[in-house]
């Protein structure tokens, strides 16, 4: 396994486990503990994990955003199951806005065979849906954020305000059932809010790596959403909170 593959593997394991020992990482990756320690030092310096003596944990600081490329491999099977579940919820002919981020990208890939009008909020999602022969694509305009390759700013918000969607697919950076979905920065939250205001139905997409966490900027109350699609094994307490919010749960 080369260095890039090991780094991606470490980030994925830490994201899934939350707190993983060096010995466990070495065993799972087939590497020596000395190699894993060097990898953790590098990943910690890049802000992808938080190293401590004997292991590593998630980089959960609310103001810190993991690079888009690093998030691509985080819980990919879960995101793909979410995307397939979302595709089944969309009827032919719907107008849909797809949020930026890696979960939104997987949704864009999953719907290429459907008949839809789609507004993608990132260049990766645009590239994916553009391959669909029966998909009509409309761009929101605005500034392109470096790294994230997502549309943002007042021009994007005004563009979304001028459109009307059957469904908004919103992918938060974190979700806590007590405090609701959140984004890493105010600008991203504002675009998500603009998309929600223009939609008749709002579907929240959250993979298990984001569950139980809180980022910097609030997006909306849970009750603002109609459906939650997740691969997380929801507890009875969490389900009760979702029921109180009036949100339908779809488990992928």
Considering the domain architecture, whether residues 103 and 14 belong to the same structural domain is answered as no
Q: Is residue 239 part of a domain?
A: yes
**Position 85 pLDDT exceeds 80:** yes
Length of the chain: 252
Q: Is residue 173 part of a domain?
A: yes
Residue bearing the bigger pLDDT, 56 or 250: 250
Considering the domain architecture, whether residues 122 and 236 belong to the same structural domain is answered as yes
Q: Is residue 75 part of a domain?
A: yes
Question: Nearest-CA neighbor of 160 among 102, 119, 220, 117?
Answer: 119
**Position 121 pLDDT exceeds 70:** yes
Paired with 19 in beta bridges are: 57
pLDDT for position 69: 60
SS3 category, 225? coil
**Position 73 pLDDT exceeds 70:** no
- The span from the CA of 225 to the CA of 213, in Å, is 18
Output the domain CATH number for residue 182: 3.40.50.1360
**pLDDT digits over 146-187, tens only?**
878 899 999 999 999 999 999 999 999 999 888 899 998 899
Considering the domain architecture, whether residues 52 and 84 belong to the same structural domain is answered as no
DSSP secondary-structure letter at 145? P
Number of domains in the chain: 2
Q: What percent of the chain has pLDDT over 70?
A: 93
Q: Report the predicted TM-score, pTM, of the whole model to 2 decimal places.
A: 0.74
Q: In the structure, what pLDDT confidence band is assigned to residue 213 with cuts at 50, 70 and 90?
A: confident
Inter-residue contact 124 to 101 (CB < 8 Å): no
Q: What is the mean pLDDT of the chain?
A: 90
Q: Is residue 51 part of a domain?
A: yes
Task: Please give the residue range of the domain that contains residue 81.
Answer: 71-251
Considering the domain architecture, whether residues 118 and 94 belong to the same structural domain is answered as yes
Output the domain CATH number for residue 25: 1.10.10.10
Q: In the structure, what pLDDT confidence band is assigned to residue 60 with cuts at 50, 70 and 90?
A: low
Considering the domain architecture, whether residues 48 and 82 belong to the same structural domain is answered as no
Q: Is residue 247 part of a domain?
A: yes
Considering the domain architecture, whether residues 55 and 77 belong to the same structural domain is answered as no
Question: Nearest-CA neighbor of 94 among 53, 135, 48?
Answer: 135
């Amino acid at each position: 396994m080369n260095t890039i593959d090991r780094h991606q593997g470490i980030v994925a394991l830490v994201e899934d486990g939350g707190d993983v020992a060096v010995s466990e990482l070495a065993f799972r990756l087939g590497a020596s503990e000395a190699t894993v320690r060097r990898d953790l030092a590098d990943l910690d310096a890049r802000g992808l994990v938080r190293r401590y003596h004997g292991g590593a944990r998630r980089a959960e600081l609310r103001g810190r955003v993991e690079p888009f490329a690093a998030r691509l491999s985080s819980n990919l099977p879960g995101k793909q199951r979410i995307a397939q579940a979302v595709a089944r919820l969309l009827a032919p002919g719907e107008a849909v806005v797809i949020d930026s981020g890696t979960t939104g990208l997987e949704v864009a890939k999953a719907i290429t065979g459907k008949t839809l009008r789609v507004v993608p909020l990132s260049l990766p999602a645009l590239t994916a849906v553009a391959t669909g022969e029966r998909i009509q694509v409309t761009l929101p305009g605005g500034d392109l954020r470096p790294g994230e390759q997502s549309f943002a700013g007042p021009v994007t918000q005004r563009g979304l305000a001028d459109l009307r969607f059957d469904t908004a697919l919103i992918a938060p950076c974190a979700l806590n059932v007590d405090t609701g979905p959140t984004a890493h920065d105010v600008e991203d939250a504002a675009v998500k809010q603009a998309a929600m205001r223009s939609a008749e139905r709002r579907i929240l997409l959250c993979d298990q790596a984001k569950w139980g966490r809180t980022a910097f900027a609030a997006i909306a109350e849970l009750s603002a959403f109609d459906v939650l699609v997740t691969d997380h094994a929801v507890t009875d307490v969490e389900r009760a909170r979702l029921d109180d919010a009036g949100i339908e749960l779809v488990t992928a």
